[in-house]
Structure 1
């Protein structure tokens, strides 16, 4: 109440200020005033908020979409500011108006806030205040209000009387049959949510006919209605007994899986494992396996790619008693065709999951049936396919060991490492520690070590940076002794390279190697090279020397700080270059703090 007291005799001060701000031409000012509504409400108190602020807001909904969006969001958390749940219905008028606005994001936020406020209503208040609002929106002249209504049924349905429930079902059915496709789309998107709260008997008599109607929607440009119905199918199937699923849901689902619109078939493919879990193992065997085969050989590449992406999960979720037989006879022949698919997105989607079949099928089937496919994919012209295979090697290593693949792996890795697209090179670097672990130190040293060093002098900085971090991970994998014998000599040699960028990369490598190699190696091997680079002719190298000394300071033997490190930093601190002096002083302060 402090705000009203400070306003002198004008008890309407906060409202007056708000009116002025909302009339201001500056949108940002109006937006800011809406964002502080809760502060104004606290100042006014609950009674004046109900009697003055809320009616004012209801009457002034005419602003920019950005302001209206903020208002819709604010009102969703206003229940306590109007006096608690007993007065939550006071918030319905402005939110109802916002739910009819033309801009979709405003309507969606208003619906979200209405759903929050509905939770605060008692059952009697729901019937008295909230359900009439839903009915008004559902019968509104403009499609905007009818689309908003669709999102409000499920939130009030469970807590109202049987007679009101029957009326709500009738209104929702009307929305499912609305002349406007946008309304039918909204109804289709919320049907699954309603199905979860409707009683089982009405699920069969009321909701499923709505689902069938939406899934068969054949008006022009209405495939978006049918594809949204697929989502509802998942929700409905989980609520029914197997017998009812077969009788009431499967005929429509079969129709969706062969829909003339590829977008509907795509959604079926995308939701396929959800559908599989919903309908259970028996219907999966009889109905979903044939449907999956059709999707895997669909005429549209997008559908095949979506189905290919589900291969591993679909196979994993199959009934264990029939799993191997179904995969070998009904899935694998189609997978083999996809390995040579003309579309690279399909091949890439398959490559991201196919290795996961190895643990399911076991050693013998992997070697006999899957290994030829992996080898083929490792030679694919598309780099994403090769990358996806390499990134999932651990699945196969667990089952058959990496040796079976190692001879084909090497050329694929080398090609990716030298790919003209730097992002492809970047991706293979990220997998190198994984590969090192899978292939073992001996193979790595013989075949891949030189490749890792080559990346350190790549012309793209992001590659050099990734290669530096890669070295750190490899040392974590193989140990400090390996680093001393294999990596460090090559890194230190870069300090004498003609290209100053390579000399800087040497320092970056030392920064990360010091962390994993420990005090002895850092002091004995890395420090002398850093100190020798303090005389470099390029200022960027010299100030990176200072930064590196600061970075590796905690790893150094205290005995070398005063006689070796401090004189170099003193020298850099009087360098002619301002940046060198700055970083030298930073390093001196940091090392002094170490004691």
Structure 2
């Protein structure tokens, strides 16, 4: 009795900081009391704190709401908790509304299916169209969880009629954090809504997000493709989303191309090796001869990551021959790309492939007319040296580096001598 009285006093203390501290403990305090005290003592305190003049106190009352709702039988919730919760969802302070959005899944579980259907669905709609971006983003984060926790009976209809129209709006939100939050969860709706709805209603949204100017939105879509793949299958996915990915991969803005290259290993992992070879391999090779150096460099790294994903045998059959064919390209920049690729691939492919397939080409390029290519040969030999065995180094690599060490070009000479020193071939 005495402790309850003390706590009551603290909840109505003149100092906001004290009321804040009391509000933060309200839920925990309620858990250790008998039900009648919760109803008679805690609910009035909760109601007062939830309409406190300080928004920092009101938002803590939202947290307490979850604990209190879990303690009360369903018939009491409507009268004792819901008026306060409704008030919080429309609070004039965006921080309080943000807290409601942030705790929404927990509130939903605490109040049960009936109240969720009648009260929380409209409240959630309001949060998704809130005037503050932070609140919309917090709501967008909860879209999948909210839909998952809806009562299975009638769930599809609620989502299609009451949630999806708001989600569609958020896809073209003016704030990138909102779009990004949505993109991180929206793919999960496909498992809830099933194949037909995904194809008809969700795919257009995914497509719009794949083309969003914000890279994070695109990344969040690409990194969650596997759950859509499970629902609609690779065939359908490739017909719908792949053209958009290809379009981005060939975009005139090189930064867009760069962003897609960075997602390629992720995409390859989601879609599998056969699909990748059929649809995306040629793109990855085309990037190697892009006119922008940053793209060629990223494309080289991309190949290394793909080999790490799909293995050395795959590299030997699909990647290495194409890379080595570029060694005969009339454009010296493309010949240099071969060397950069060899540098990146040697470790991932291992000793055998490097020695048998890649080393002979590098050695042959030591006679290139362009000094730039020759000194990159020296750098490549230095780079792949640790992968080779000592016999190969002595019999094949050393003579070529010695010859380059006598080159008329200063740079070629310098890099050849450095390679000899680093590989201890002197």
Cα deviation code 1:536-582 (max 9, x no counterpart): 845973563244223422xx5x7634321344466678998777645
Partner of 1:365: 197
Q: Distance in 2 between matches of 1:240 and 1:306?
A: 27
1:305 matched to 2:137: yes
CA offsets per residue over residues 385-432 of structure 1, 9 Å max, x none? 44433332211111112332434434432454347474x555433432
- Secondary structure of 1:178's counterpart equals coil
- Change over 3 Å in CA distance of 1:180–1:485 after alignment to 2: same
Q: What RMSD, in angstroms, separates the aligned Cα atoms of the two structures?
A: 3.8
Paired residue for 1:277, among 96, 100, 109?
Answer: 109
Alignment of 1:42-191 (within 5 A): 166-167=2-3, 169-191=4-26
Q: Secondary structure at the match of 1:179?
A: coil
Structure 2 CA distance for partners of 1:381 and 1:582, relative to 1, 3 Å: closer
- Confirm whether residue 531 of structure 1 aligns to residue 363 of structure 2: yes
Establish whether residue 474 from structure 1 lines up as the match of residue 306 from structure 2: yes
Matched residue, 1:587: 423
Does 1:338 find its partner at 2:174?
no
| Closer/same/farther in 2, CA of residues 239 and 544 from structure 1, 3 Å limit | farther
Query: Which residue of structure 2 aligns with residue 319 of structure 1?
Result: 151
TM-score (norm 2): 0.80
Give the alignment partner of residue 244 of structure 2, picking from 391, 412, 421: 412
In structure 2, the partner of 1:213 is 48
**What is the CA–CA distance in structure 1 between the aligned matches of 2:297 and 2:31, rounded to whole Å?**
51
Closer, same or farther in 2 for the Cα pair 1:572/1:299, shift >3 Å? Answer: same
Tell me the distance in 2 between the aligned counterparts of 1:520 and 1:289: 62
- Choose the corresponding residue for 1:249, options 73, 81, 84: 81
Per the TM alignment, residue 339 of structure 1 is displaced from its structure 2 partner at its CA by: 3.4
Task: Please state whether the residue corresponding to 2:424 is helix, strand or coil.
Answer: helix
**Match in the other structure for 1:328:** 160
| Partner in structure 2 of residue 266 of structure 1 | 98
Q: 1:496 to 1:232 in 2, by over 3 A?
A: farther
Alignment of 1:368-387 (within 5 A): 368-380=200-212, 383-387=215-219
Query: 1:136: which partner in 2?
Result: none
Q: Distance in 2 between matches of 1:449 and 1:523?
A: 24
Partner residue, 1:392 = 224
Q: Which has the higher contact order (CA 8 A, sep 6+)?
A: 2
For the residues of structure 2 that align with 1:191 and 1:504, how far apart are their CA atoms?
68
How has the CA–CA distance of structure 1 residues 191 and 485 changed in structure 2, closer, same or farther, with 3 Å as cutoff? same
Query: What's the offset of the Cα at 1:366?
Result: 2.0
C-alpha distance in structure 2 between counterparts of 1:187 and 1:533, whole Å? 76
- Distance across 2 between alignment mates of 1:206 and 1:465: 67
Hey, what's the Cα distance between the residues in 2 that align with 1:257 and 1:173? 25
CA spacing shift, 1:563–1:187, aligned 2, 3 Å: same
Give 5+ residue unaligned stretches, structure 1: 1-162
Q: Report if the CA contact (8 A) 2:27-2:68 is conserved.
A: yes
Shift of 1:526: 1.0
The match for 2:281 is: 449
Q: CA deviation at 1:525?
A: 1.3
Change (3 A) 1:317 1:544: farther
**d(CA) in 2 for partners of 1:401, 1:449:** 20
Provide the secondary structure at the position in 2 that maps to 1:588: coil
Deviations 1:61-85 (Å, cap 9, x if unpaired)?
A: xxxxxxxxxxxxxxxxxxxxxxxxx
The answer as to whether partners of 2:207 and 2:244 remain within 8 angstroms in 1 is: no
Distance 1:542 1:441, change over 3 A: closer
Which deviates more, 242-251 or 189-198? Answer: 189-198
The match for 1:356 among 188, 207, 217 is: 188
The answer as to whether partners of 1:500 and 1:541 remain within 8 angstroms in 2 is: no
Cα drift, residue 195 of structure 1:
4.0
Task: Classify 1:563/1:327 alpha carbon distance in 2 versus 1 (closer, same or farther; 3 Å).
Answer: same
1:187–1:512 CA distance, 2 compared to 1 (3 A): farther
Contact 1:358 1:370 in 2 (8 A): yes
CA contact (8 A) 1:305 1:346 kept: yes
- Matched residue pairs, number? 417
Q: TM-score, length-normalised on structure 1?
A: 0.60
TM-fit CA distance, 1:230: 1.7
